[in-house]
């Protein structure tokens, strides 16, 4: 296996990209990599001849400066993990290489971006859409790989690509979980020991509620009961909702492809998760 190249400026990224033959896959990340990201690289390798992974903590998608400042940065370990996973090229731009100080262009998204995370974190999906559009144009990949863990983000990216006619396929990859069900996230490392013990309850309630709704239970009743149990266990539940899988519109019952989506705080950590309703 050839050694992984690390590029930090757009000129060398473009030169490396131009030298690549065959199908190219992009794995966008913000670093702090874990097994979930490595599953994205593996999926990328399965569909492409060359894999480019980006590591960029995108300031545009953070609402609070404190959240941006505390976002884990583990570049050396990240690069070692990407190389071991068979990534060909790591694109690691500095913020000033990504955003000109006088930049005047951004991508805004409505539709699937409006509710849930879009409402909780104003501007977040605009920041995600802007950086992903730039990454797609920079890497000129044939396919980009995203985790289903951030279900709403996945729907937003699909809509951006469709609406802007960006010639890239979006490949979703199922959420990777700990043995106890907790969805992997770079932010899990901030859970205190007692919170880490409680955290898997979110996934347990999510899976059980999704199956109950799929089996015909009254969605309002089972969602209400699950939220009450989570609150009792110490979660600050922001939402646990049944939505249309693609549009993110709230549903009363699963009359079309549906997803259960959740955000809940545990201590200082905001956990996001989602489950197929089928």
Asked if 29 is part of the footprint of ligand PAF (rule: CB under 6 A), the reply reads yes
Q: Is 37 a catalytic residue?
A: yes
Q: In the complex, what is the shortest distance from the CB of residue 65 to ligand PAF, in angstroms, rounded to a whole number? A: 17
Asked if 39 is part of the footprint of ligand PAF (rule: CB under 6 A), the reply reads no
Choose the catalytic residue: 25, 27, 29, 37: 37
Cβ atoms of 30 and 71 closer than 8 Å: yes
- Of 122 and 216, nearer to ligand PAF (C-beta) is 122
Identified binder of ligand PAF from the candidate list 131, 170, 202, 219, rule CB under 6 A: 131
DSSP lists the bridge partners of residue 237 as 264
CA pair distance 87, 7, nearest whole angstrom: 13
Q: In the complex, what is the shortest distance from the CB of residue 169 to ligand PAF, in angstroms, rounded to a whole number? A: 16
Q: In the complex, what is the shortest distance from the CB of residue 144 to ligand PAF, in angstroms, rounded to a whole number? A: 9
Q: What are the CA-CA distances from residue 210 to residues 84, 128, 233, 260 (Å)? A: 36, 28, 19, 6
Asked if 128 is part of the footprint of ligand PAF (rule: CB under 6 A), the reply reads yes
Q: What are the CA-CA distances from residue 236 to residues 20, 199, 233, 271 (Å)? A: 47, 12, 9, 10
> Hunting for tokens 């770079």 — which residue is that?
186
Q: Which stretch binds ligand PAF (CB under 6 A): 9-17, 28-36, 104-112, 236-244?
A: 28-36
Asked if 148 is part of the footprint of ligand PAF (rule: CB under 6 A), the reply reads no
- Of 51 and 227, nearer to ligand PAF (C-beta) is 51
DSSP lists the bridge partners of residue 39 as none
Identified binder of ligand PAF from the candidate list 30, 81, 92, 240, rule CB under 6 A: 30
Asked if 132 is part of the footprint of ligand PAF (rule: CB under 6 A), the reply reads yes
Q: In the complex, what is the shortest distance from the CB of residue 98 to ligand PAF, in angstroms, rounded to a whole number? A: 10
Q: What are the CA-CA distances from residue 206 to residues 100, 128, 137, 217, 237 (Å)? A: 42, 26, 36, 14, 12
- Of 89 and 242, nearer to ligand PAF (C-beta) is 89
Q: In the complex, what is the shortest distance from the CB of residue 32 to ligand PAF, in angstroms, rounded to a whole number? A: 9
- Of 16 and 29, nearer to ligand PAF (C-beta) is 29
Chain residues 54-73 in contact with ligand PAF, contact rule CB under 6 A: 58, 61
Query: By C-alpha distance, which of 43, 7, 23 is closest to 138?
Result: 7
Q: What are the CA-CA distances from residue 265 to residues 34, 120, 131, 178, 179 (Å)? A: 21, 12, 26, 18, 21
CA pair distance 87, 25, nearest whole angstrom: 10
Identified binder of ligand PAF from the candidate list 13, 20, 26, 28, rule CB under 6 A: 28
Q: In the complex, what is the shortest distance from the CB of residue 165 to ligand PAF, in angstroms, rounded to a whole number? A: 20
Phi then psi for residue 258, to 5 deg, are -130, 160
Cβ atoms of 222 and 230 closer than 8 Å: no
Q: Tell me which residues touch ligand PAF (CB under 6 A).
A: 28-30, 58, 61, 128, 131-132, 150, 153
The residues annotated with a catalytic role in the active site are 37
């Amino acid at each position: 296996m050839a050694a992984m190249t690390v590029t930090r400026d757009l000129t060398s990224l473009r030169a490396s990209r131009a030298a690549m033959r065959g199908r190219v896959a992009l794995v966008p990340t913000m670093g702090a990599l874990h097994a979930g990201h490595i599953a994205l690289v593996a999926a990328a390798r399965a569909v492409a001849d060359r894999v480019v992974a980006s590591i960029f903590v995108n300031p545009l998608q953070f609402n609070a400066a404190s959240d941006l400042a505390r976002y884990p940065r583990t570049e050396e370990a990240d690069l070692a993990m990407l190389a071991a996973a068979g990534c060909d090229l790591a694109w690691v731009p500095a913020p000033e290489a990504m955003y000109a100080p006088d930049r005047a262009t951004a991508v805004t998204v409505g539709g699937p971006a409006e509710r849930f995370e879009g409402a909780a974190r104003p501007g977040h999906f605009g920041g995600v859409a802007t950086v992903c559009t730039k990454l797609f144009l920079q890497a000129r990949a044939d396919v980009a790989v995203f985790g289903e863990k951030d279900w709403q983000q996945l729907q937003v990216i699909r809509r951006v690509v469709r609406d802007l006619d960006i010639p890239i396929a979006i490949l979703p990859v199922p959420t990777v979980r700990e043995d106890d069900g907790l969805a992997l996230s770079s932010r899990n490392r901030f859970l205190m020991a007692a919170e880490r013990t409680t955290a898997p309850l979110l996934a347990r309630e999510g899976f059980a509620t999704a199956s109950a709704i799929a089996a015909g239970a009254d969605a309002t009743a089972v969602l209400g009961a699950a939220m009450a149990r989570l609150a009792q266990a110490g979660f600050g539940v922001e939402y646990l909702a049944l939505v249309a899988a693609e549009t993110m519109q709230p549903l009363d019952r699963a009359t079309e492809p549906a997803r259960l989506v959740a955000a809940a705080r545990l201590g200082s950590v905001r956990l996001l998760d989602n489950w197929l309703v089928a």
